[in-house]
Amino acid sequence: MQTGTSKLGGMTTSTLSTVSIALGERSYPITIGTGLLGQSATFAALPSAATAVIVSNTTVAPLYAQQLQLALASKYKSVHLVALPDGEEYKTWQTLNLIFDALLEQGCDRKTVLFALGGGVVGDMTGFAAASYMRGIPFVQVPTTLLAQVDSSVGGKTGINHPMGKNMIGAFYQPLQVVCDLDTLKTLPDRELSAGLAEVIKYGPIADLKFLDWIEANMDRLLARDVQALAHAVQRSCEIKAWVVGQDERESGLRAILNFGHTFGHAIEAGLGYGAWLHGEAVGCGMVMAAHLSQRLGLVDMAFVQRLTALIGKAGLPVVGPQLHAQDNVGRYLELMRVDKKAEGGEIRFVVIDGPARAAMRGAPDALVREVIDACCI
């Protein structure tokens, strides 16, 4: 990781950080700073091609697409824009085909570079399109939400949702570069900022208790969008994720710890209908439920559960789970969690905290999980 002051295209940015993802020939940099998006030098190391295609959505494109188009104009003869509908409910085959339609209409070839300009939905779908079109073309992540900057843009997970489960269709496919311009967080709605903080908080209990202490001490600064606080949160989150992904790119073991809170959270998203709760909101509540499960398994004490719950609540996130079914709420949670990607042979697997900054995958008796859901839901 390198830090310092850098000049990009004649414009001096604030302190610039680079975190590297070490994956051999698929290694790539994560660049973090301000004033990055509109500077051609930000993208100088990318391969040349006749065409670039920016994939964004109808909310982000009017704010930032022109800046990115201008930055890319000196490198690519043609820079096209595809603006997808905005929202988790559009993370579908039908929306994915809009990207393929644009690529085919423009006669894009295997050297065409895709740029994902937006949050996690845009990033996941653009990456999946890149992995699939002509069996693989290069792409770059340009995340504009906190959640995408600290989590979804890093590590090569791409995909779409299915009505029966979140992110069940996709591929591991690494970008060439991740560009985190902190200036884009200025236009982020408060609810989206809180959703991103869920993924920031996640890294504390699973990997770094000092970082958890820092988040607690600096939550007010993060909520106020203090750029130095945000820069540190993004950098440390990316460092932790880079370390995990570098050891387990395809989630055969260690990388599963990054799903702390996600088993419960994905059930909430699918059960309510995608888009009713933001992903980070569901993960925040899911972490509370996973902490309660860890406590009932005898792995942590109630003080830890209370500490984590208080921090998640302070971030503006829900800490009480919703009802997914009027007659059999617990049954509906269990049904949805059995199709989670981490389930094995129909057994639900949970990421639990089993010591200071240590997480593990565990199964749990249905009766215990039922107790947790009953205790944590409205």
Is 26 known to be catalytic?
no
Is 259 known to be catalytic?
yes
* Alpha carbon of residue 118 to chain centroid: 11
Tell me the CA distances in angstroms from 206 to 19, 174, 190, 308, 371, one per residue in order: 20, 23, 26, 12, 23
- Judging by DSSP bridges, how do beta strands 49-57 and 113-118 pair with one another? parallel
Write down the catalytic residue from 279, 314, 332, 349: 279
Residue 45: strand pairing partners: none
Write down the catalytic residue from 255, 292, 314, 341: 255
Is 157 known to be catalytic?
yes
Write down the catalytic residue from 88, 239, 249, 251: 251
Write down the catalytic residue from 259, 269, 281, 329: 259
CA atoms of 315 and 310, how far apart (whole Å)? 9
Write down the catalytic residue from 91, 202, 241, 292: 241
Closest by CA to 336, choosing from 293, 298, 297, 282, is: 282
Write down the catalytic residue from 91, 157, 296, 341: 157
Closest by CA to 232, choosing from 251, 248, 217, 250, is: 217
Write down the catalytic residue from 166, 236, 262, 341: 262
Rg value, the chain, Cα: 20
CA atoms of 205 and 211, how far apart (whole Å)? 9
CA atoms of 284 and 265, how far apart (whole Å)? 8
Is 199 known to be catalytic?
yes
Write down the catalytic residue from 192, 199, 239, 249: 199
Is 255 known to be catalytic?
yes
Write down the catalytic residue from 166, 202, 266, 341: 266
- Judging by DSSP bridges, how do beta strands 76-84 and 358-363 pair with one another? unpaired
Is 80 known to be catalytic?
no
Is 225 known to be catalytic?
no
Is 262 known to be catalytic?
yes
* Alpha carbon of residue 314 to chain centroid: 21
Is 249 known to be catalytic?
no
CA atoms of 67 and 271, how far apart (whole Å)? 38
Active site residues: 135, 157, 199, 241, 251, 255, 259, 262, 266, 279
